[in-house]
Amino acid sequence: MNLTKKFLTCALAVPFALSAYSASAVEAVTLRLAHNLDPSHVVAKTLEKMKQDLADLSDGQMKLRIYPGGQMGGPRETLEMLQQGALDMTKGSASEMEPFESAFSVFSMPYLFRDSDHFRSVLYGDVGREMMKLPEEKGFIAIAGYVAGERSFYAKKPIKSPADMEGLKIRVVSTPTTNRMIELLGGAPAPIPFGEVYTALQQGVIDGAENNEPSYYHTRHVEVAKHYSQDQHTSVPDYLVIATQTWENLDQEQRDILMEAAEMSEKYQQVLWDEQVKLDREKAMEAGATFYDVDKTTFRAALQPLYDDAAKNPGKAAWIERIESVGK
Q: Domain boundaries in the chain?
A: 30-325
* Cβ contact 227:293 at 8 Å: no
Q: 45-50 contacts: CB < 8 A, separation 24 or more?
A: 45/272, 46/146, 46/265, 46/268, 46/269, 46/272, 47/91, 47/240, 47/265, 49/265, 49/268, 50/240, 50/261, 50/262, 50/264, 50/265, 50/268
pLDDT of residue 174: 85
Q: What is the mean pLDDT of each successive set of 10 residues along the chain, which is 328 residues long?
A: 39 40 75 93 96 97 96 94 97 93 94 96 97 97 97 97 97 90 97 92 97 93 98 96 98 98 98 96 98 96 97 96 94
pLDDT of residue 173: 85
pLDDT of residue 21: 52
What fold does the segment set 30-325 form as a domain? D-Maltodextrin-Binding Protein; domain 2 (3.40.190)
Give the span between the Cα atoms of 309 and 311, in whole angstroms: 5
Beta-carbon contacts of 275 under 8 Å, excluding residues fewer than 6 positions away, are none
Give the span between the Cα atoms of 153 and 54, in whole angstroms: 37
**Whole-number Cα distances in Å, 140 to 77, 83, 100, 102, 243:** 13, 7, 10, 14, 4
pLDDT of residue 24: 58
pLDDT of residue 233: 97
* Cβ contact 230:152 at 8 Å: yes
Give the span between the Cα atoms of 268 and 146, in whole angstroms: 10
